[in-house]
Chains A and B, each alone.
Chain A
Amino acid sequence: MSVLTVLVRRDLLLAWRQGGGTGTALGFFLTVVVLLPLGIGPDQILLQRIAPGALWIALLLSVLLSADRIFQADYEDGSLEQMTLGPASLEIIIIAKAFAHWLSAGLPLAIAAPALGFLLNLDPGLILPLGGAMIIGSLALSLLASLGAAATVGLRRGGMLVSLLILPLYVPALIFGVSASTASQAGPDISAPSLLILIAIVLVALVTVPLAAAAALRAYLR
């Protein structure tokens, strides 16, 4: 397990010292949230109704935007190959990198999102459920993003391809994430079971993504 912590620390240090990563993602997030009311008009009631979904979509896009840096740099300078020579299996390396990506991109965005919700007239009662669902859901987003990054790591024009590959897989997390963060607007309250399904999605991703991403990375490292 020490390999895991070492890798997570290394990635976090790199993200922190290089700068840009977290800050850019946050800036992108802010831009999307600001552009939205400009695009659909400043109707407060409408904004309040779509705020949770809009924040989730902004989170999705921001996480996806930072996906290609999960493996790209390490693949290009050869350190990924060095890591595979070490004692840790490729699957563990992928879990570490996805976790570091979550700490440096998903988590800050999930914490900032409810605060930015004020720009969208978010119902104050939703701040806690939205933040909680986003913190959990962004784990699944980071894991799936690392799968997309692994599948396209050796490609020069991988960015658009990652979106095409990964956005369909984001659909379940998006659906249950939004319904977990909106307490009953109409009909019975399904936020609690939705949160459980969201956790299930995270757990399934935690098991399947490292295997699939490792298979994809091995095709590039051969």
Chain B
Amino acid sequence: MRMQRFANPARFVRLQRIILPWVSGAAVILFVVGLYLALFAAPPDYQQGETVRIMFVHVPAAWLALMIYTVMALSSGIAIVFRHPLADVAAKAAAPIGAAFTFLALATGSMWGKPMWGTWWVWDARLTSMFVLFLLYLGYIAIWQAIDDPRRAARIAAVVALVGFINVPIIKFSVEWWNSLHQPASVFRADGPAIHSSILTPLLVMAVAYTLLYVALHLIAIRSELVKHRIRQIELARAGTT
């Protein structure tokens, strides 16, 4: 029952007003620190040279792409089971942000692949499943746009998001299940990260900065969804009286 308290949109808006400045402020500071560490302080790789710096924008974007889809699927599940209106709004607001991070991961990965692998794109498991994730985001957004009745759109979109969630573990483990050109996970491993701390620290700072950026964007997006809904209700009420 504790969770229900946060389903109240008015309480959410009040909370959001308090949290948002702190989150966005911290995101800005961490981006400044993280970008300095990543672009100037971190040493160039002995094989990859300066191009290794692409990693600091590429890897966090890919993590976020997966995390946002997970958040979206989680909210969709909550929306289906508990019928929280706020959960539907949260899932809807997350989709364009997730699509943007997925695109960022694909684009930066492509730019990194050209000097390292000698090609912009290869059709191997990690890249293909990431591209499928991008398509899933687009399909989810298209559902919201195609269905006029918001309540019906919310239900269908939630089903679509949950079905598409099957892809997330496939992406995560694609580099271990198949022989991929993409390297396997080197940060989240059972025997500790396989990266030197001079690279790992900027990467983690950037990851936290990306996450805070996402949280700030998501809070703003949820808020504007709620405001949009409210405006629509006011307009409907006004149209009813005149």
Which A residues contact B (CB, under 8 angstroms)? 147, 151-152, 154-155, 157-158, 161, 164-165, 167-169, 171-172, 204, 208, 212, 215-216, 218-220, 222
Contacts and interface: CB of A to CB of B under 8 A. Distances in A.
- Identify the 5 closest CB pairs spanning chains A and B, nearest first: A219-B155, A168-B135, A165-B139, A164-B139, A168-B132
Contacts of A151: 143, 156, 159-160
B interface: dominant SS: helix
Interface stretch (B162-170, B214-222, B232-240): B162-170
B146 A169 contact: no
Contacts of A157: 146
A164 B164 contact: no
Interface of B: 80, 128-129, 132, 135-136, 138-139, 142-143, 146-147, 152, 155-156, 159-160, 162-164, 166-167, 170
Most chain B CB within a 10 A radius of its CB, from A151, A158, A208, A215: A151
A165 B152 contact: no
Contacts of B143: 151, 161, 165
Nearest to A215: B159
Contacts of B162: 212
A50 to B, nearest CB: 14
A219 B152 contact: yes
Contacts, number: 57
Given A169-B163, A212-B159, 5 more contacts: A154-B147, A168-B167, A216-B155, A216-B156, A216-B159
Nearest to B141: A164
Of A157, A164, A168, A169, which is in contact with the most chain B CB atoms at under 10 Å from its CB? A168
A147 B162 CA distance: 12
A74 to B, nearest CB: 18
A161 B142 contact: yes
Contacts of B136: 168
B159 A168 contact: no
27 contacts: A151-B160, A154-B152, A155-B147, A157-B146, A161-B146, A164-B135, A164-B142, A165-B139, A165-B143, A165-B160, A167-B135, A168-B164, A169-B163, A171-B128, A171-B129, A204-B166, A208-B166, A212-B162, A215-B159, A216-B156, A216-B159, A216-B160, A218-B155, A219-B152, A219-B155, A219-B156, A220-B152
